[in-house]
Amino acid sequence: MCGIVGIVGTGPVNQTLYDALLLLQHRGQDAAGIVTCEGNRLHLRKDAGLARDVFQTHHMIRLRGTMGVGHVRYPTAGTSSLAEAQPFYVNSPHGIVLAHNGNLTNAETLKHDLIHEDLRHLNTDSDSEVLLNILAHELQIQGRVPIDEQDVFRAVAGVHRRCRGGYAAVAMIPGFGIFAFRDPYGIRPLIYGKREGAEGVEYMVASESVVLEPLGFKPIADVAPGETVVITVDGRIHTQQCAERTMLSPCIFEFVYFARPDSIIDNISVHKARSRMGKKLAAKIKREWSDHDIDVVIPIPDTSRTAALQLASELGVPYAEGFIKNRYIGRTFIMPGQKVRKRSVRQKLNPIDLEFHKKNVLLVDDSIVRGTTSQQIIQMARDAGAYRVYFASAAPPVRFPNVYGIDMPAASELIAHNRTEEEVRQALGADGLIYQDLPDLIEAVQKKGKSQIDRFDTSVFNGDYVTGDVTPEYLQALEARRNDRVRVHQPSDGEDTLDLYNSY
């Protein structure tokens, strides 16, 4: 999962891009990058780490220009090396910068075609570089200088014909503008908006709506599945559907965990969806465990707070904040490498003993993925004096890998894979375990009559992959490539700001 942003402004955009990456930091903490465009010259700064550490004053000064693209990365394919930090750039044709969120399921086939048929060079293992080169090839065969929006629409249509998987992308071409597109299923989120000022109208494309309004942009619309939005340097906006067949099928895990609660994705409030998750979970407890002895409901901060608060209210049980979170430790789920995740849990959370002492506690989390964090938290609750520790998940059991851009690649790492719920409970060390039912989760997010969702991608829960091209052989190969045992984090000395020149 990554965060992307693109801006066409009337003045310098470096500060706004930086601010946008801070607002998207929850989507990736491995690396950050910005490319700005000053006339026909591109300026780049990217490095491993958080945005606040990657961009210092002397970097920002050199990121000149009125148009730019930014990215925060969380590795899902390849390694977490600087070489795969984004945005990516390719000189031919026209000089294209691209930032990508998602994962291509046919990347290996595309790599072969790019090298042997399109005669293009790939410098990394990143599928984002594959996407960029597919786009570049499709623009190349348009054969026009200068290009216009119709050339872009035809090129993106070619991308949709060739690429499979989940992808939301924003690209920039010097002298032309930026354009954004979303895969035909709309698996990964993308929205655009505008900001009116004394010097004219500025436009922004971003992964989540939470980026727009704090920076003064008014949302226009979500980018539709298969749609391309073109914003030219002179402030004109063009949209066109570029995919032959579309079906709005967003990843439901965005609403469970990844997105900020104050975001609205495809006209669905993430906060309200999580509140309904808590209500549905409470109804299941009432139905299946009416004589429960829960003394207090305690959330695992931060993502589960909304669901836990609603659950406690529905059950008529006290709600308490039992864990204090260290704000300077990142989200353990998206840290590269299992050893790093394990080490960070006790540094990130510290229990308030009096909220646990001599109580039967229901801990509520948004989901249970690998289970190692949950095991440690349950033990922390016992160590703090709880009599009994129950655990509730606002999502169903995660039993299958995610192939569309979330770091759940290895089925063997998922605690619920090939286990019953009772076996998961025993593995976690909990006195009781309550999972959300999948139909209830879908209904909680869908809010029938209020959204235009055709279906959700729920593949991590039921193994039903919306793109229809995921085979057991593909999953085996993916696990071999991306298992924690073989993933390597490559340290970096950093990459200074570079001047890149387009090919005009």
Q: Is 372 annotated as a binding residue?
A: no
Does 365 belong to an annotated binding site?
A: yes
Of the candidates 2, 163, 242, 251, the residue annotated as catalytic is 2
| Partners of residue 33 on adjacent β-strands | 46, 71
Helices of type H across 24-67: 51-54, 57-62
Q: DSSP code of 259?
A: S
Strand order in the sheet with 67-73: 218-222, 191-197, 200-206, 3-8, 67-73, 31-38, 41-48, 495-501
Q: In the structure encoding, which two tokens stand for residue 158, read together? A: 């070619």
Question: Which amino acid appears at position 19 of this protein?
Answer: D
DSSP 323-376: EEE-TTS--GGGSSSHHHHHHHHHHHEEE-GGGTTT-EEEEEES--SSSHHHHH
Distances in whole angstroms, Cα of residue 282 to Cα of each of 95, 276, 277, 378, 504: 54, 10, 9, 20, 61
The C-alpha angle with vertex 129 and arms to 127 and 135, in degrees rounded to 5, equals: 105
Using CA atoms, how far apart are residues 223 and 233, in angstroms rounded to an integer?
A: 19
> Does 2 qualify as catalytic in the annotation?
yes
Answer yes or no: is 366 a known binding residue.
Answer: yes
Closest by Cα among 206, 209, 191, 190 to 260: 209
- The amino acid at residue 482 is R
Q: Round to whole Å and give the CA distance between 77 and 403.
A: 10
Look at strands 3-8 and 31-38 and give their pairing.
unpaired
Per the listing, tokens 């990964």 go with 188
* CB-facing half-sphere around the CA of 464: CA atoms within 13 A: 9
SS3 label, residue 401: coil
Write out the two tokens for 85: 């930090």
Backbone angles phi, psi at 179, to 5 degrees: -145, 150
Please answer whether residues 421 and 438 qualify as being in contact, where contact means their C-beta atoms are separated by less than 8 angstroms: no
Bridge partner list, 390: 362, 432
Q: What share of the chain is helix, strand, coil (3-state, %, to 5)?
A: 35, 25, 40
Radius of gyration (C-alpha) of the chain in whole angstroms? 23
* CA distance linking residue 246 with residue 3, whole number of Å: 23
DSSP type of residue 102: E
Active site residues: 2
> Annotated binding site, which residues?
303, 365-366
Annotated binding site for Mg(2+): 303, 365-366
